[in-house]
Structure 1
């Protein structure tokens, strides 16, 4: 008897993970993200999170989930980020990269295009502070 793979057709309609079981299938999300009410779509923008600089990356920890896994934001070109701030209304992240002496910004909805804000006469701070 042929048994149809529910996950084999369009990933079962799941945006990320389709998990087979004897009862059928269920959708799941990568660690640190939540499954939306539709039961099929993963939600990557948490409501409550901690954002921090981790030298070569900007990282977010969702406080919406109980596992508190960190998720590296795919912002290219970060060499040594030491400070980070966030403009909530404009969805902008600002960070200092001391390796290239630059203050940069990146839009949370378009992380692949960081913009140089100030790239001259930046000195390395004694300790990391909010910009």
Structure 2
């Protein structure tokens, strides 16, 4: 197998040819290439973006002052939560990026993961 010609990750896609190439976290496809990832991490964006499943219609939802790391979605309340190890915060916003707010900012050091239990109204940090 040749991994679909992808240098790193080959993911199923509903559009032809049935797959898209993707890169590990922190790296991205080289400019002008749909198959080859950079070998080292690139300058990280300080944003959270969204797109369709096929990668089209990409748009920035959240502009962050730090570096968004872990993300959790509360589909019931239509909120997005994210950790930020640069600012040592847990943040919340509506899925459209409005009403952005820091919800936890004290006694955190390098928060890296978050999980939600929407029906119980809890979020859990790891």
- Using the size of structure 1 for normalisation, the TM-score is 0.47
